[in-house]
């Protein structure tokens, strides 16, 4: 296991120790860091911890089932106590870019269905300003090139346009999300007003959701390469 994987794993352990309690309803995030957390959670469930869980992607469903965590349909769980999820980038106000794994729509729905969201990451994910990681925007397949043009135009108005490309798999076919949509990856450089951009992107017809999460997270648990982890709130 790499030092970075170890850091993700200690973050997963720490978030359970600090925030997960018996009887909670949990949202389980997506991506490799969240999957380390889900695997750690599986050990606690096997040892008797009682939690009710829903997830933010089909991939996380698979990992959860593998480690013996029963998944409840998000329609049947009601308000969640806590969602634990990972970022592609996070700043010190806990604003994030997410969607590197194409799960941003379900992730945002589940985060908003929760009383609290705590982000888990390794120390490489913390940035001074969002925008180094290409911003994912989920769009419906219908007329996606028209939507792409509108997205590029808005980014230009924000002074951050560079390249917008549809995400593709190795065989050249566009990536299709768990909800059947495409992903546009927008290379932005620094994003000066993430809150405003998050809202304005979602006003473009054809945009389903974007990967800016500026209001969801109330804190982060950071795993470090020296094997320690800390909480920032």
Residues that bind ligand 5RP (CB under 6 A): 29-34, 85-86, 88, 98-104, 107
- Residue 28 CB, nearest approach to ligand 5RP (Å): 11
Torsions phi, psi for 117 (to 5 deg)? -125, 130
- Residue 25 CB, nearest approach to ligand 5RP (Å): 20
Shortest-Cβ-distance residue relative to ligand 5RP = 31
Tell me the two tokens of residue 151. 């997205």
Nearer to ligand 5RP, 86 or 131 (CB): 86
Question: Does 132 show up as a binding residue in the annotation?
Answer: no
Q: Which of 89, 107, 148, 198 is catalytic?
A: 107
- Residue 138 CB, nearest approach to ligand 5RP (Å): 10
| DSSP designation for 74 | G
Cα-only R_g, the chain: 17
Nearer to ligand 5RP, 8 or 25 (CB): 8
Does residue 157 have an active-site annotation?
Answer: no
Find out whether 188 and 162 touch, Cβ atoms under 8 Å.
yes
Neighbouring CB atoms inside 10 A of 41's CB total 26
Q: How far apart are CA 192 and CA 197, in angstroms?
A: 9
Q: How far apart are CA 91 and CA 96, in angstroms?
A: 7
- Residue 116 CB, nearest approach to ligand 5RP (Å): 17
Nearer to ligand 5RP, 27 or 205 (CB): 27
Question: Does 50 show up as a binding residue in the annotation?
Answer: no
Nearer to ligand 5RP, 40 or 88 (CB): 88
Q: How far apart are CA 37 and CA 42, in angstroms?
A: 9
Q: How far apart are CA 165 and CA 186, in angstroms?
A: 7
Question: Does 125 show up as a binding residue in the annotation?
Answer: yes
Per the listing, tokens 């059947």 go with 180
Find out whether 213 and 31 touch, Cβ atoms under 8 Å.
no
Question: Does 32 show up as a binding residue in the annotation?
Answer: yes
Binding residues: 30-33, 85-88, 98-101, 125
Binding residues for substrate: 30-33, 85-88, 98-101, 125
Q: Annotated active-site positions, please?
A: 107
């Amino acid at each position: 296991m790499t030092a970075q994987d170890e850091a993700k794993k200690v973050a997963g352990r720490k978030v359970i120790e600090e925030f997960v309690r018996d009887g909670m309803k949990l949202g389980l995030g997506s991506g490799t860091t969240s999957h380390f957390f889900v695997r750690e959670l599986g050990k606690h469930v096997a040892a008797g911890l009682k939690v009710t869980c829903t997830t933010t992607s089909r991939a996380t469903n698979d990992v959860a089932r593998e480690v013996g965590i029963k998944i409840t349909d998000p329609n049947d769980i009601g308000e969640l106590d806590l969602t634990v999820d990972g970022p592609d980038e996070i700043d010190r106000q806990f604003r994030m870019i997410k969607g590197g794994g194409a799960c941003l729509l379900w992730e945002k729905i589940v985060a908003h269905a929760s009383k609290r969201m705590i982000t888990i990451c390794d120390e490489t994910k913390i940035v001074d300003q969002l925008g180094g990681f290409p911003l994912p925007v989920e769009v419906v397949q219908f007329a996606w090139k028209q939507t792409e043009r509108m997205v590029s135009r808005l980014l230009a108005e924000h002074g951050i346009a560079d390249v917008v490309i549809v995400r593709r798999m190795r065989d050249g076919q566009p990536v299709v999300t768990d909800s059947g949509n495409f992903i546009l990856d927008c290379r932005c450089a620094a994003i000066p007003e993430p809150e405003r951009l998050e809202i304005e992107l979602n006003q473009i017809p054809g945009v389903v959701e974007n990967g800016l999460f500026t209001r969801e997270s109330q804190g982060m648990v950071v795993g470090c390469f020296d094997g320690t982890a800390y909480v920032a709130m």
